[in-house]
């Protein structure tokens, strides 16, 4: 009886329903905790671009104290995004992946402003970037100094790059290669910062607009280059506006 | 449980003590003489991939142990109900469910580790130790014995990957569980070995462990 087709079909059906039900319940029960974890992780990454976080730091409190945020469009104008229920969406809650699907002219671009401790003085500007890696989407947070051209720090993350190859963009050693590089040349022209093909490039190739690449992950680095180039292109109008403000 | 029919002859005998010699062997055998990694050479992929640091290795070891214990018990409970022709699929479904649960819990409460271990938690599903234990042991033994067997295999896997991670983190990063040991001992600028951070280092360490262990136990490949 145990080997009959009918038994097998019934057995499989019951197994499927049980397993499916269990996983669906688990997913629902754990969802709030997972969302909290992800919010914490996003804020940790944003702060990670501008400061060294120590274990035990209250990330949420530091974020609240020192970061102010706004949303701009590609023309550099400040805009307000509302959710379906009519609430204003904060820049840190904006779903960059969803914005990425829209045409650049319709996207909302969050900007985070990092203030000096206990004052309103600006210490750095943090610009989120988003793009395609080799297997899935990649994103990051790039912080510029107050001169609005030198990179103060960078954080990258990914959804599905190959561990040990493309996934290395999450490593501090790789991200630190971006520190001190320049987004704009001396004439104020936007040139972006690119990762080279291959690793251990001779230092004469690594000028202020180039960083050493990742061996075995050329397509991921290409994704990183495109992502930075595109997004800083979109942020350009806002950055020029900021520069004019600070100049005057 | 209605699974007792096949095991009837056993039931009539005097009950075996909870930790009889045979049962102890179920747990201790996989630790050394029949270790899943060094002797059976299973689960190598994750042993090489996650052992750069001790903390993720520990999480991985606990995750694999939990999954192998619970899947062994579940399959053992169901062993007289599972149709022979779909048994592999049923085993996989049980493993995949448990692994997904572990991964979801990590994502909720241990996000850092979830990101660090990335695909390797999901890849526990393809870890041959699990399918091997289910097919070779749980399908033919009672739940309690299967639990002990799973525990043995899980711990056997865990202690080997922890030893690999110990050497890799110590020599590759100069720390243990993220604590800078050499600086604490007053040795500044310890020359860390970059080889240990790559998978090549894991191959070398694992090879040395297999060598030492086989010299001690006298195990020969047939």
Determine contact, residues A221/A179, Cβ cutoff 8 Å.
no
State the best of A8, A31, A32, A34 to mutate against chain B, taking most chain B CBs within 10 Å: A34
Instruction: Give the confidence band of B14 by pLDDT, cuts at 50, 70, 90.
Output: low
Distance, CA of A122 to CA of A116 (rounded, Å): 6
CB contact under 8 A, B83 and A40: no
For residue A75, give the H/E element and its range.
none
Q: What is the pLDDT of residue B3?
A: 45
Determine contact, residues B181/B170, Cβ cutoff 8 Å.
yes
Across the interface, which of B81, B97, B119 has its CB nearest the CB of A23? B97
Measured between beta carbons, which residues in chain B are less than 8 angstroms from residue A215? none
Distance, CA of B103 to CA of B119 (rounded, Å): 10
State the best of A23, A44, A163 to mutate against chain B, taking most chain B CBs within 10 Å: A163
Helices (H), A49-158: 59-66, 96-101
State the best of A1, A4, A11 to mutate against chain B, taking most chain B CBs within 10 Å: A11
For residue A132, give the H/E element and its range.
strand A122-132
Distance, CA of B82 to CA of B98 (rounded, Å): 18
Q: If you ran DSSP here, which 8-state letter would residue B221 be given?
A: -
Helices (H), chain B: 8-12, 21-28, 44-49, 54-78, 87-109, 111-117, 119-122, 128-136, 143-173, 181-184, 194-197, 199-217
Say how many C-beta atoms besides its own lie within 10 A of residue A122's C-beta. Answer: 15
CB contact under 8 A, A40 and B85: no
CB contact under 8 A, B109 and A33: yes
Say how many C-beta atoms besides its own lie within 10 A of residue A94's C-beta. Answer: 18
* B108–A contact, CB cutoff 8 A: yes
Structure-token match 């899935």, residue found: A136
Kindly state the average pLDDT of the residues B145-166.
92
* pTM recorded for the entire structure: 0.77
Say how many C-beta atoms besides its own lie within 10 A of residue B184's C-beta. Answer: 10
> Which residues span the domain enclosing A192?
5-247
Domain extents in chain B: 21-217
Q: In this predicted model, what pLDDT tens digit does every residue of A109-130 receive, in sequence order?
A: 999 999 988 788 888 999 999 9
Measured between beta carbons, which residues in chain B are less than 8 angstroms from residue A40? 111
Instruction: Give the confidence band of B158 by pLDDT, cuts at 50, 70, 90.
Output: very high
* B84–A contact, CB cutoff 8 A: yes
Structure-token match 């397509």, residue found: A219
Determine contact, residues B45/B202, Cβ cutoff 8 Å.
no
Listed in sequence order, the residues at least 6 apart from B180 whose beta carbon sits closer than 8 Å to its beta carbon are B174
Instruction: Give the confidence band of A1 by pLDDT, cuts at 50, 70, 90.
Output: low
Domains of chain A: total = 1
Phi, psi of A117 (to 5 degrees): -60, 125
Measured between beta carbons, which residues in chain B are less than 8 angstroms from residue A39? none
CB contact under 8 A, B81 and A3: no
DSSP character string of B136-165 = HTGGGS-HHHHHHHHHHHHHHHHHHHHHHH
Instruction: Give the confidence band of A30 by pLDDT, cuts at 50, 70, 90.
Output: very high
Answer yes or no: is the ipTM higher than 0.85: no
* B199–A contact, CB cutoff 8 A: yes
Chain A residues within 8 angstroms (CB to CB) of chain B: 2-3, 7-8, 11-12, 15-16, 19, 22-23, 26-27, 30, 33-34, 37-38, 40-41, 163-164, 167, 170
Across the interface, which of B90, B108, B119 has its CB nearest the CB of A30? B108
Q: A25: nearest CA in chain B?
A: B101
Q: In this predicted model, what pLDDT tens digit does every residue of A171-211 receive, in sequence order?
A: 888 899 999 999 998 888 888 899 998 888 887 778 889 99
Tokens read off for B141: 């033994």
Tokens read off for A64: 């609240």
CB contact under 8 A, B81 and A11: yes
């Amino acid at each position: 009886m145990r080997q009959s087709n009918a038994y097998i079909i019934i057995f499989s059906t019951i197994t499927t329903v049980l397993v499916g039900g269990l996983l669906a319940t688990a997913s629902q029960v754990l969802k709030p905790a997972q969302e909290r974890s992800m919010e914490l992780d996003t804020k940790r990454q944003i702060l990670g671009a501008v400061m060294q976080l120590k274990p035990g730091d209250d990330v949420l409190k530091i974020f609240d104290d020192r970061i102010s945020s706004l949303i701009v469009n590609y023309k550099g104008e400040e805009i307000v995004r509302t959710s379906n229920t009519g609430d204003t969406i904060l820049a840190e809650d904006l779903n960059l992946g969803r914005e990425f699907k829209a045409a650049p002219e319709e996207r909302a671009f969050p900007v985070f402003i990092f203030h000096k401790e206990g004052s309103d003085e600006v210490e750095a500007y943090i610009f989120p970037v988003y793009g395609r890696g080799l297997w899935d989407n990649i994103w990051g947070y790039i912080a510029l100094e107050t001169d609005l051209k030198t990179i103060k720090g960078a954080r990258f993350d990914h959804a599905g790059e190959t561990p040990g190859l493309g996934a290395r963009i999450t490593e501090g050693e790789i991200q630190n290669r971006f520190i001190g590089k320049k987004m704009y040349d001396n004439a104020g022209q936007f040139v972006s910062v690119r990762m080279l093909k291959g690793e251990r490039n001779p230092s004469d190739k690594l000028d202020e607009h180039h960083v050493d690449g990742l061996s075995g992950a050329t397509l991921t680095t290409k994704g990183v280059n495109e992502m930075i180039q595109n997004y800083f292109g979109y942020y350009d109008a806002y950055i020029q506006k900021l520069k004019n403000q600070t100049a005057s | 449980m209605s699974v007792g029919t096949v095991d009837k002859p056993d039931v009539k005998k005097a009950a075996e003590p909870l930790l009889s010699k045979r049962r102890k062997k179920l747990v201790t055998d996989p630790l050394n003489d029949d270790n899943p990694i060094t002797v059976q050479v299973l689960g190598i992929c994750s042993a090489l991939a996650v052992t750069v640091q001790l903390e993720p290795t520990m999480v991985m070891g606990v995750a694999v142990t939990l999954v192998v214990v619970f899947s062994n018990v579940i399959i053992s409970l169901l062993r007289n109900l599972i149709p022979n022709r779909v048994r592999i699929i049923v085993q996989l479904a049980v493993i995949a469910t448990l692994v997904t649960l572990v991964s979801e819990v990590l994502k909720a409460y241990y996000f850092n580790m979830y990101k660090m271990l990335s695909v390797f938690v999901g890849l526990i599903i393809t870890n041959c130790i699990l399918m091997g234990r289910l097919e070779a042991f749980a399908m033919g033994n009672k739940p309690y014995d299967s639990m002990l067997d799973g525990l043995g295999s899980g711990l056997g896997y865990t202690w080997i990957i922890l030893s690999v991670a110990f050497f890799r983190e110590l020599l590759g990063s100069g720390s243990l569980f993220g604590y800078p040991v050499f600086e604490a001992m007053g040795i500044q600028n310890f020359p860390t070995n970059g080889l240990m951070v790559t998978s090549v280092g894991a191959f070398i360490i694992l090879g040395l462990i297999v060598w030492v262990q086989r010299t001690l136990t006298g195990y020969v490949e047939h």
